[in-house]
Structure 1
Amino acid sequence: MSWYRASRPVTKHLCPGSMLTLVLMVLASSAVDAGQQKNQAKKYKGPGTTLNLRNIIVGRCYHYMSLYPGNGDKNCSGIWQELIDAVQRKDPCKITQEDYKNLALVAAQTIPCDKTLLWSRTNDLVHRYTKATADFITLEDTFLGFLFNGLMWCGNTLRPGMNYKSCPAWNECEHNSISSFWKMASAAFARGSCGVVNVMLNGSADGDIARIESILRTVEIPNMDPIKISEVKVWVIDDIQGEDRNSCNSKSLLDLKYYIEGHKLKYSCVDNYRPVQALQCADHPDHAACNRCSYQ
C-alpha cells in the first residue's frame, strides 16, 4: 500500500488554481505557435529569393574585382554574411535602410567626379549606353549595384536563412527588403557623386517624366551635396520611333527644375542628347533623326 501511495500522480495534489494556470499557459503557447506558423506561411506577391543567391553574389564579387582591380579587394564572403544579417529572422515588410548600413560600409567605393549617370524609365537604353562608353557610371555599374542587380531576396521571420517561396513586391509594403536596399544604394550613390551629375529621362513616357514618387526625387536628389556637385544635367531622350511627349520646356521638366534648384543645385537640360541618339541610330540608321549633321 505504501508503494501505491508513492506512485500516485502528482497532479492530484495540484490545487484548482494551479491547474487553471497550467491550462492557460498551454493554450497561450498553442496560440503563439499557431500565430507564428501563420506568419511564417504568409504568401507575398513577389517571387521568392533567387536560387543559388550566395553563389551568384560571391561570384559577381570576384568577377567585379577582376574587371576593376583599382577598386581594391573586397571580402566577398563577408558581404554575403552582411546581407544575411540584415534580413534573417526579420519580417520582410519591416526591413529599413538602416538594416543595410553595415553592408553599405563593406561594399563602399569611390565614385569618380563627372561620371555619375542617374536614370528614370530608361533602364535598357541607359545601360546600353554605359556599356558603349566608359564616360559614365550608373548605380548598376557600381560594385554594390553590380552585385545585387536583378536579384530577389528576403528572410524568414522565425528561422535563419532566406525565404525561397515568396518575398514582398516593390510596392507591397513600404519597408520591404528589396525597396529598402535599392533606396539605401541610391542614397549612397548620390552622396558619393561629385562634379557634373547627368540624368537620363524618357521623353516618350506617359505621364510625368520624373514622378514625385520616383527614386530620383525621393532619394537621389535630396542626398546630393551641393558643395560637391557643380551641376545636375538632365537628358530628355525620346524613343526614336515613339512620341515626343516631353521636352526641356514641358511642365514636368520645369517642375523638376524647380525641385532640383530648391535643393541648391545648378540645373541644365538638353533634348535628345546627341551621343545617346547616335546609339539609337545604330538600330534605326534610316530614321530622319539620324540624318542630322549638328551635334549637341
Structure 2
Amino acid sequence: MPFQNSSTRIRQHRLILTGIMVLLVTLVIAVLVVVLKPRSKGATGSEVIQWKGKGTTEHLHEIILGRCYNYIATVNPELRDKDCLQIWELFQKAFMYKDPCSATEEDYQPLMDLARHSIPCNKSLFWSTTNDLVHRYTKADRGFLTLEDTMLGYIADGVTWCGDLSSPGVSFKSCPKWTECESNPSSIYWKMASKMFAEAACGTVQVLLNGSTEAGAFRDNSIFGSVEIVNLNPNKVSKMQIWLMHDIDGPQSETCMGHSIRKLKEILENRTISVSCEDNYRPVQLLQCTSNPDHTTCRVCS
C-alpha cells in the first residue's frame, strides 16, 4: 500500500504540472494573437494609417541643426546668439510621440518665440503659387526677404515631419497632407510662421503672384490670402506692390485689372493699405528670360 500511495501522488503531481503547462501555453498563445492581430485603419494609433503625404524626412535632426547653424553663421550673423540646440529641442517636442492630426499652436509657441526676429522695413516679399520664381529672384536680389529667408522658414523649407504615438516617435512612412486634416504639425507650423512674418512687415511690402493660373492670381483660401494679408498691421504697412507675373509661354489668365486682383485691392484698401499693381515686373521677367532668351518678350527692344 505505501508503494501505491507514492505512485498515486506522483501521478497527481504530473497531472497538476501538465495542467499548469497547458494553461501557460494557452495564455502565451492568447497574448500573441492579441499583439499580432492586424488592426483596422480606423483603430487608434497613427502607425496603422497610410497618409497621402511624404513621411518624415530622413535625418531631420541633422538637417534642422545644420541649417540653423548655417543661418546664424552665414545667412544672418546678427542672430548668432540664437541657441540652435534649443531650437531643435523645441521643434521636436512640438510633434514627436503625438498624433499627427492633433497639433496645436501651443505646441509650437515656445519655438516661435525663440526663433522670432525682426524684418527690415520695405523688404518683405510675399508670394503665392510662384515658389520657384520668387526664390530665384531673392537669390539674385538680396534686398528682399521671403518667409523662407527667415530663420523659421529657412530651417524647415522643403522637409516634412509628423509624429507617431509609438517608438521612435515619428512616422517615416507617411504624413497627412494639409487637406487630410487641418491640425497636422506642418500646417500649424507654416501658418504660425506666416503670421509672424506678416506681423513683422513694415513700410512698403511686395507680393509676387501668378497671372497664368486658371484659379486666379489671388485666392483668399491660400496662406497669403487667409493668414498673411489679415495679419499685416496697417499702422506699420503703408503700401503693397503687386507684381503679377505670367509664364513666358503660358497664358495670361489674369492681368492687374482681373477679378481676383480687384478683390485683393479692395481687401487692402479697406484696411487703409494703398495698392499698386504691375504686370510682368521687368526685373523678375528677366529671370524668366534666362530660360527662354529668344522669346519675343525677352528682346531688349520688344
Cα distance in 2 for residues equivalent to 1:292 and 1:98: 53
Cα distance in 1 for residues equivalent to 2:253 and 2:211: 6
1:168 alignment partner in structure 2: 176
1:102 alignment partner in structure 2: 110
Cα distance in 2 for residues equivalent to 1:128 and 1:97: 31
Query: Deviation string for 1:57-111 (max 9, x for gaps)?
Result: 0011111112121233221111111012111232211112332111111111111
Distance 1:185 1:270, change over 3 A: same
Q: Give SS of 2:191's match.
A: helix
2:216 alignment partner in structure 1: 208
Moved more, 225-234 or 69-78: 69-78
2:299 alignment partner in structure 1: 291
* Contact 2:217 2:261 (C-alpha < 8 Å) held by counterparts: yes
1:66 alignment partner in structure 2: 73
1:246 alignment partner in structure 2: 254
Cα distance in 2 for residues equivalent to 1:98 and 1:241: 45
Query: Deviation string for 1:121-169 (max 9, x for gaps)?
Result: 1111101000111111111111110100001111112556322222111
Equivalent position amino acid for 2:228 in 1: E
Cα distance in 1 for residues equivalent to 2:140 and 2:264: 28
1:49 alignment partner in structure 2: 56
Distance 1:54 1:161, change over 3 A: same
- Name the count of aligned residue pairs: 268
Tell me how far 1:244 sits from its aligned partner.
1.1
Q: State the TM-score, normalized to the length of structure 1.
A: 0.84
* Contact 1:82 1:103 (C-alpha < 8 Å) held by counterparts: yes
Tell me how far 1:293 sits from its aligned partner.
5.1
Q: Is 1:148 equivalent to 2:156 in the alignment?
A: yes
Distance 1:134 1:38, change over 3 A: closer
* Contact 1:36 1:158 (C-alpha < 8 Å) held by counterparts: no
Equivalent position amino acid for 2:233 in 1: D
Equivalent position amino acid for 2:277 in 1: C
* Contact 2:53 2:174 (C-alpha < 8 Å) held by counterparts: yes
Query: Deviation string for 1:15-69 (max 9, x for gaps)?
Result: xxxxxxxxxxxxxxx89x9797654422222121111100000011111112121
Structure 1 gap segments, 5+ residues each: 1-29
* Contact 1:115 1:136 (C-alpha < 8 Å) held by counterparts: yes
Q: Give SS of 2:206's match.
A: strand
* Contact 1:221 1:263 (C-alpha < 8 Å) held by counterparts: no
Higher CA-based Rg: 2
Moved more, 263-272 or 236-245: 263-272
| Aligned CA-pair RMSD | 2.5
Structure 2 gap segments, 5+ residues each: 1-33
1:81 alignment partner in structure 2: 89
2:19 alignment partner in structure 1: none
Q: State the TM-score, normalized to the length of structure 2.
A: 0.82
Q: Give SS of 2:94's match.
A: helix
Equivalent position amino acid for 2:113 in 1: L
Cα distance in 1 for residues equivalent to 2:187 and 2:241: 26
Cα distance in 2 for residues equivalent to 1:99 and 1:288: 52
Equivalent position amino acid for 1:152 in 2: T
Cα distance in 2 for residues equivalent to 1:98 and 1:239: 40
Equivalent position amino acid for 1:142 in 2: T
